[in-house]
Structure 1
Amino acid sequence: MTKLIDIARLAPTASNSQGISFIVVQNKQLLEQALEMTIQIIENSPLRHLVEEAIKSYREDGYDSVFRGAPNLIIATSDKNFSNGRNNAISCLTYLELFAPSLGLGSCWAGIFEHCIAIEDSPLLKLFNIPKDKKVVGAVMVGYPKYSYNRLVDRNPLDATFIE
């Protein structure tokens, strides 16, 4: 995990402003609490209809579609008044994701969690002891992948124009 976040901190940022801190969560019980809280927040959200199946599969079968059973969560934070926080975090966490496979790790953005922790006065902020002067600007799950793939996922053909 230290290697991952050390690479992430080297990512290019707006005007080299950096400003991203990382919280590495490796506590399984804490992640289970965060999962339950995230599901509760979604259940009471106007966006519930978008993830109804995820809620149902969690409540009925215990299936974790929020963290996907990942043993680690990396949360990126910045100062609340730092306007480049989200953009810088995207750059940092993308570096992290690109480096993870070289360490035999898999990663995935924790989008549902990000949405829920970004809600004003979210109980998740207290769970992870996020200071009042900070905001969460990104989150990525990390673990050893269950499956390995010999090829990349299909992509659209390259669409590029060269002007000389």
Structure 2
Amino acid sequence: MSLVTVNEQCIKCGLCINECPVYVLKMGEKGPEEVENAHCVACGHCVAICPKSAIDNAKSPLALQVDAHEFPKLNPQQAEHFLRSRRSIRTYQDKPVPRELLTKLANIARLAPTAANSQGISYVIVENKQLIEKAIENTIEMIENSPVRHILEAAVVGYREQGIDSVFRGAPNLIIAIADKNSPYARNNAISCLTYLELFAPSLGLGTCWAGIFEYVAAVENSPLPALFNIPEDKIIAGAVMVGYPKYSYKRLVDRQPLDVTYIN
């Protein structure tokens, strides 16, 4: 069954053919058509670039694409401010995030670029506070018996002696990215998707932070964490972020280390 259909608006400009990253298309009598035995990666470039809306692709339908001209682009200063405004939030208000907003975060995450457009990331959204607390306890227990305990000793001592949560920082919600266990792209794809999520979160009044300690323990052999969150055996936890309403607001944009770049001419 052909993935590509072309209507009478096609002017045979060839843009879709030139832009296809996997060379799926060739020019036929009535316009672009598929090359035999080619493998479309569903990037949607062919549909997105057409000046006449003349081509459709079953893997990336025209009906699901959005007219890019409907939205103004940020100027460079606005874009820099937007990117620099993202902060890793480690203090949260004691209130849960509505499911509607958590779903919006995951929906933005799925739009992120992935290796070879493989996508393959799905999400577990944790709303159960008791489950999060159980995950903290399991994480600390695993660290206590880990050969790298000395690196995370402060997290153990803080939790055991003062009740300080260094795992999820008191966040009311957790979003876990999962992927096929055998995917070579799992971690990189998860990083891309969760970065989109993090950048979008402030527009909803939310804060996020990567749950690095949790990720480390979840990846340890025989870790109880995947089972705790009902992760299928053929999947892995590829990334996780805590989510909540920030307790405080930041008044300034923090700088980073000076730019270190080498040009090769």
* Category of TM-score, reference length = shorter chain: over 0.9
Deviation (angstroms), 1:54: 1.3
What secondary structure sits across from 2:152 in the alignment?
helix
Equivalent position of 1:143 in the other structure: 244
What secondary structure sits across from 2:150 in the alignment?
helix
Deviation (angstroms), 1:157: 3.4
Deviation (angstroms), 1:161: 6.7
What is the aligned counterpart of 1:66 among 167, 170, 175? Answer: 167
Deviation by residue 1:97-138 (Cα, 9 ceiling, x = unmatched): 111111111100000000001112211111101111001100
Question: Is residue 236 of structure 2 the alignment partner of residue 116 of structure 1?
Answer: no
Deviation by residue 1:45-69 (Cα, 9 ceiling, x = unmatched): 0110011111111101111011000
Equivalent position of 1:19 in the other structure: 120
What secondary structure sits across from 1:77 in the alignment?
strand
What secondary structure sits across from 1:132 in the alignment?
coil
Residue correspondence of structure 1 range 63-102 to structure 2 within 5 A: 63-102=164-203
Mean CA deviation greater in 8-17 or 147-156: 147-156
Equivalent position of 2:158 in the other structure: 57
Equivalent position of 2:107 in the other structure: 6
CA distance, structure 2, for counterparts of residue 16 and residue 117 of structure 1: 26
CA distance, structure 1, for counterparts of residue 137 and residue 264 of structure 2: 53
> Which stretches in structure 1 are left out of the alignment for 5+ residues?
none
Deviation (angstroms), 1:160: 5.2
Aligned residues: 164
CA distance, structure 1, for counterparts of residue 131 and residue 253 of structure 2: 33
CA distance, structure 1, for counterparts of residue 155 and residue 125 of structure 2: 25
CA distance, structure 1, for counterparts of residue 163 and residue 257 of structure 2: 35
Deviation by residue 1:131-155 (Cα, 9 ceiling, x = unmatched): 1100110000000011110222221
Amino acid in structure 1 at the alignment position of 2:257:
N
TM-score, normalised to structure 1's length?
A: 0.95
What secondary structure sits across from 1:88 in the alignment?
helix
CA distance, structure 1, for counterparts of residue 221 and residue 149 of structure 2: 17
CA distance, structure 2, for counterparts of residue 53 and residue 81 of structure 1: 34
CA distance, structure 1, for counterparts of residue 264 and residue 158 of structure 2: 51
What is the aligned counterpart of 1:31 among 132, 139, 152? Answer: 132
Equivalent position of 2:146 in the other structure: 45
Say what the alpha-carbon RMSD is for the aligned residues.
Answer: 1.4
CA distance, structure 2, for counterparts of residue 46 and residue 160 of structure 1: 37
CA distance, structure 2, for counterparts of residue 107 and residue 99 of structure 1: 10
Question: Is residue 246 of structure 2 the alignment partner of residue 156 of structure 1?
Answer: no
CA distance, structure 2, for counterparts of residue 63 and residue 161 of structure 1: 43
Amino acid in structure 2 at the alignment position of 1:20:
I
Instruction: Mark the structure with the bigger radius of gyration.
Output: 2
> Which stretches in structure 2 are left out of the alignment for 5+ residues?
1-101
Mean CA deviation greater in 154-163 or 104-113: 154-163
Structure 1 residues 161 and 45: CA distance shift in structure 2, 3 A: closer
Deviation by residue 1:10-31 (Cα, 9 ceiling, x = unmatched): 0000111100000000100000
Greater fraction of residues in helix: 1
